C-alpha cells in the first residue's frame, strides 16, 4: 500500500507500472502477429505440404516477414497494454490509492512514457532498417529455394514452365516405381526450336553465375524444322540445359527515391504528380508513424481509467478500434494529398496531431476525476 510518496516508493511504483505494461504488451503482440500471419498462412502451408518446401525454409520465411509485421503491430500492442493495465488499476482501486498518495496523473505517466519510448525506438529501427533488410533477405531466400529445390517445381504428370518459352513434362511413375523419363520443349530461340527427351535427369545449380539447369542422360534432341521438310535428330549420353534466374529475383538492395529526387520530380510536374506526392508523404511518415507510438501509449492511460473494466479482451478490442480509426485517418490523409487538398507533410502528420489532441482532452478529463 502506498502511504508516503518517497524516493524508494516512487522507484517501486515505476517498476510496478512497467511490469504491468510489459505482460499485456507481449500477450497482445503475440496475438496481433498471429492474426497478421494468418493472411500468409495458406501460402506457407501450400509451400510446406504441396510443394514440399522444408519446415526450416518456411520458418525462415516467417522470420523475414516479421519486421514488416512488427512495424504494424508494435504501436497497437503498446496502446492495448496501456489500456489494459490502467483499466485493471482503476477497477482494483489501485489507481485511487496512487492518487490518494498525492501522485498526479502526469507523474504516473512517466513510466508509461518510458515504456512507449522503448517501443518507439523498436518501431523506428524496424521501419528504417529492419524492413529494407527483410526485403532483401526474403529475395535471397527465394533465390535459394529456387536453386536448391528446383526439382519441387517439376511436378509429375503436368506441364511445368520453369523458364520463359520452356515447357517440361515429367511422367507420373507407377506405384512403387522410380520416376523416369522427361520431355522438354525449348522455344527460347525462335529460329531453332528443339524437343528433347531423356531417360533420366537431375538438377544443376551454379550460384556464382546465377544459373540453374538440368543434366539429362540417355536421350535425343529433335530440331523442329521451319520448312516442314527437314528433320534433325541427335542422340546423346549426357546433355546440360542451362537457365538463368529470373531478373526479378536478383537480390539487389531495394532503391527508394531520395528527398531531392522526389522534390525535383514534383517541381517538374507543378506538384501534381500523384506518385511523387505519395512518395513524399511516405518520407514524412518514416518518422511520423513511429512517433504515433509515443502518443498511443499515453492515450491508453485515460482510456483505460475511464473504462474501469477488467479483462484483457476489452482492452484488446478498444485498442483495435482506436487503431482502425488511426489507419482510416492515414488513408484519408493520403487521399487528401493525392487530391491536392493537403501538403504531403500535413497529410502524413495530421493523424498524429488529431491523436495528440484527443489524448490531451482525455488526459485532462481523467486527471480531474
pLDDT tens for 23-75 read: 999 999 999 888 888 877 776 666 666 555 667 767 777 777 788 888 889 99
CB-based contact 102:5 (threshold 8 Å)? yes
Distance, in Å, from the CA atom of 237 to the CA atom of 365, rounded to the nearest integer, reads: 85
CA dihedral sign of residues 268, 272, 274, 279: positive
pLDDT band at 253 (very low <50, low <70, confident <90, very high): very low
Alpha helices (H) in 308-343, listed in sequence order: 312-338
pLDDT digits (tens, 9 = 90+) for 206-241: 655 556 678 889 888 888 776 666 777 888 889 888
Distances (CA, A) of 120 to 73, 79, 110, 290, 293: 12, 12, 15, 5, 6
- Cβ(354)–Cβ(329) under 8 Å? yes
Determine the Cα–Cα distance for residues 127 and 61; give it in Å rounded to an integer. Answer: 18
Cα angle vertex 159, ends 232, 224, to 5°?
A: 15
Tell me if residue 186 falls in helix, strand or coil.
strand
C-beta of residue 297 within 8 angstroms of C-beta of residue 119: yes
| C-alpha cell belonging to residue 250 | 536478383
Return d(Cα 70, Cα 77) in angstroms, integer: 10
The pLDDT, as a whole number, for residue 213 is: 76
As a whole number of angstroms, the distance between CA 301 and CA 178 comes to 66
Please work out, in degrees rounded to the nearest 5, the angle formed at the alpha carbon of residue 242 by the alpha carbons of 237 and 248.
160
Write phi, then psi, for 328 (nearest 5 degrees). -65, -35
Distance, in Å, from the CA atom of 167 to the CA atom of 186, rounded to the nearest integer, reads 7
Work out the end-to-end distance of the chain between its first and last CA atoms, rounded to an integer number of angstroms.
21
The answer to whether residue 6 scores a pLDDT higher than 80 is: no
pLDDT given for residue 265 in this prediction: 86
What is the rounded distance in angstroms from the CA atom of residue 16 to the CA atom of residue 150?
54
Q: Are 77 and 32 in contact (CB under 8 A)?
A: yes
Q: Which of 345, 358, 362 is nearest to 287 (CA)?
A: 345
The model's pLDDT over 283-328, given as tens digits with 9 standing for 90+, comes to 888 888 889 999 999 999 988 888 765 445 666 777 888 888 998 9
Cα(250)–Cα(77) distance, rounded to whole angstroms? Answer: 35
Q: Where are the chain's structural domains?
A: 7-147+256-368, 155-249
CB 290 within 8 Å of CB 351: no
Over 70: is that where the pLDDT of 255 sits? Answer: no
Instruction: Check residue 306 and give its pLDDT.
Output: 80
Contact call for residues 222 and 195 (beta carbons, < 8 A): yes
To the nearest whole number, what is the mean pLDDT of the chain? 79
User: What is the pLDDT confidence band of residue 81, given thresholds at 50, 70 and 90?
Assistant: very high
Amino acid at each position: 500500500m502506498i502511504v508516503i510518496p518517497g524516493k524508494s516508493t516512487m522507484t517501486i511504483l515505476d517498476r510496478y507500472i512497467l511490469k504491468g505494461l510489459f505482460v499485456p504488451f507481449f500477450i497482445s503482440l503475440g496475438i496481433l502477429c498471429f492474426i497478421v500471419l494468418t493472411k500468409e498462412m495458406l501460402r506457407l502451408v501450400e509451400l510446406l505440404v504441396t510443394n514440399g518446401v522444408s519446415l526450416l525454409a518456411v520458418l525462415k520465411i516467417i522470420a523475414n516477414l516479421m519486421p514488416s509485421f512488427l512495424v504494424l503491430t508494435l504501436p497497437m500492442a503498446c496502446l492495448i497494454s496501456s489500456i489494459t493495465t490502467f483499466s485493471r488499476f482503476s477497477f482494483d482501486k489501485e489507481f485511487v490509492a496512487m492518487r490518494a498518495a498525492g501522485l498526479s496523473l502526469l507523474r504516473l505517466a512517466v513510466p508509461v512514457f518510458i515504456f512507449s519510448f522503448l517501443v518507439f525506438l523498436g518501431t523506428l529501427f524496424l521501419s528504417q532498417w529492419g524492413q529494407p533488410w527483410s526485403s532483401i533477405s526474403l529475395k535471397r531466400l527465394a533465390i535459394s529455394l529456387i536453386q536448391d529445390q528446383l526439382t519441387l517445381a517439376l511436378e509429375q504428370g503436368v506441364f511445368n514452365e520453369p523458364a520463359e518459352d520452356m515447357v517440361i513434362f515429367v511422367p507420373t511413375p507407377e506405384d512403387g516405381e522410380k520416376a523416369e523419363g522427361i520431355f522438354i520443349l525449348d522455344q527460347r530461340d525462335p529460329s531453332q526450336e528443339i524437343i528433347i527427351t531423356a531417360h533420366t535427369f537431375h538438377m544443376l545449380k551454379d550460384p556464382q553465375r546465377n544459373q540453374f539447369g538440368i543434366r539429362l542422360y540417355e536421350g535425343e534432341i529433335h530440331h523442329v524444322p521451319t520448312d516442314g521438310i527437314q528433320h534433325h535428330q541427335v542422340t546423346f549420353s549426357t546433355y546440360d540445359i542451362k537457365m538463368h534466374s529470373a531478373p526479378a529475383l536478383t537480390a539487389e538492395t531495394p532503391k527508394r527515391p531520395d528527398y531531392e529526387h522526389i522534390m525535383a520530380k514534383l517541381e517538374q510536374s507543378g506538384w501534381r504528380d500523384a506518385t511523387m506526392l505519395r512518395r513524399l508523404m511516405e518520407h514524412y511518415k518514416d518518422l511520423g508513424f513511429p512517433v504515433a507510438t509515443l502518443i498511443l501509449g499515453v492515450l491508453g492511460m485515460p482510456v483505460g481509467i475511464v473504462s474501469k473494466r477488467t479483462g484483457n479482451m476489452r482492452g484488446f478490442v478498444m485498442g483495435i478500434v482506436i487503431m482502425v480509426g488511426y489507419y482510416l485517418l492515414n488513408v484519408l490523409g493520403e487521399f487528401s494529398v493525392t487530391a491536392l487538398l493537403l501538403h504531403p507533410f500535413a497529410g502524413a502528420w495530421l493523424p498524429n496531431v488529431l491523436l495528440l489532441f484527443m489524448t490531451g482532452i482525455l488526459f485532462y478529463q481523467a486527471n480531474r476525476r
